[in-house]
Amino acid sequence: MAQQNNGVAANVTHTQPLWLLAEVTYRCPLHCAFCYNPTDYDKHTQNELSTEQWIQALRDARKLGALQLGISGGEPLLRDDIEDIVVEAKKLGYYSNLITSGVGLTEKRIQAFKEGGLDHIQLSMHDITEEINNFITNTRTFELKKKVAAMIKNHGYPMVLNVVIHRYNIGHIKEILEMAEALGADYVELANTQYYGWSLVNRSQLMPSKEQIDHAEKITNEFRAKVGNKMKIFFVVPDYFAERPKKCMNGWGEVFMIVTANGDVLPCHSARVLPNMQFPNVRDKGLEWAWKDSPAFNKYRGDSWMKAPCRTCPEKDNDLAGCRCQAFLLTGDAESADPVCSLSPNHHIIEKAIEDAKNPQLQAQPIVFRTDKNSKKIIAGELQERVADFHALP
């Protein structure tokens, strides 16, 4: 019997970590303003897991039922052992996905990935214009990304483009989709920025208006009707503008598991912001214990932890009270309703954030790019004016 926590344990709910995200490094050559990595990532760049430790983690997760493997970061290609990880993933029967900015993807490496059995590559693109691509990533990567897109196609890979949407590119949705079609993309994810990590610090600079989002969605729907099955387009709706919160990660410890660069095991990308939680590490008791028995993974399974108004809400099964990290970051109470919900007593916080994003003075604040230097500053307690509103470092 796994440990009981809130009356629910993994072996009772029959959860399985179908999706495993391996954030193999936090190092990254890009400096994207919207990166969801923790702003204090500089603390976690030491002690990266070794190749052998990653391979063991892959084996253990597969035994727990993991099927879809995302190899991500930071920029995973900064490690020189991705080839070995890919070979092991293939051997174990994963459907594997390299999530990359494209920086560091050479003919030699892509050839090795193909031979090793990597199933697909997800490339991030930012805009149709060089100016905005280079501005938002704080790098000169526009031409390189186009070359990498062609390389992915030439090697017979399905082309999956991920485009994070924000104020600077939302007006170009049609042109972005046309570019994707011209590049031969099979899948396009238009991922409206969610406000975690660096994007939360830069929220007033990045957030588009409701009207812009509605317009972008309309254009996307028209484009989808035109291209049909040839290019699948996902439009990730931004939760700040929704009536109800998202069912975050499809439930805490339900189908998703992240192993971070230093081996911490998390149920979601930003869980480390939560207070009084000790997340397991693969170096300690292994993944099976982490998933089934660790107090952290059991903490928000089920619904007995919920507070009013969620506890008695007839819709609670639809969204499981939303995102714990968002609730804590914005309200200081991890067990309160996600303030995105219009029924949350704290919903005014979201309304204020939307208003702030219209404020020319706040809009004009400089973007805090994701750099080692800025991460060190934030850890040292600088840039207070940008993080003071939040109940943990984003």
State which residue, 113 or 157, has the beta carbon closest to another protein. Answer: 157
Q: Is 323 annotated as a binding residue?
A: no
State which residue, 149 or 310, has the beta carbon closest to another protein. Answer: 149
Q: Is 313 annotated as a binding residue?
A: no
State which residue, 233 or 327, has the beta carbon closest to another protein. Answer: 233
- Using CB under 8 A as the binding criterion, the count of chain residues that bind another protein stands at 22
Q: Of 157, 263, 29, which Cα lies nearest the Cα of 272?
A: 263
Exactly one of 11, 50, 52, 95 binds another protein (CB under 8 A); which one?
95
Exactly one of 2, 24, 160, 259 binds another protein (CB under 8 A); which one?
160
Query: Minimum distance from CB of 186 to another protein (Å)?
Result: 7
Exactly one of 59, 91, 109, 120 binds another protein (CB under 8 A); which one?
120
93 part of the interface to another protein, by CB under 8 A: yes
Query: Minimum distance from CB of 10 to another protein (Å)?
Result: 13
Q: Of 40, 48, 95, which Cα lies nearest the Cα of 73?
A: 48
Exactly one of 101, 122, 260, 336 binds another protein (CB under 8 A); which one?
122
State which residue, 40 or 186, has the beta carbon closest to another protein. Answer: 186
289 part of the interface to another protein, by CB under 8 A: no
State which residue, 123 or 321, has the beta carbon closest to another protein. Answer: 123
Q: Is 341 annotated as a binding residue?
A: no
332 part of the interface to another protein, by CB under 8 A: no
226 part of the interface to another protein, by CB under 8 A: no
Query: Minimum distance from CB of 204 to another protein (Å)?
Result: 30
16 part of the interface to another protein, by CB under 8 A: yes
State which residue, 160 or 350, has the beta carbon closest to another protein. Answer: 160
Return binding residues: 28, 32, 35
- Contacting residues toward another protein, per CB under 8 A: 16, 18, 62-65, 67-68, 93, 95, 97, 119-120, 122, 157-158, 160, 186-187, 189, 229, 234
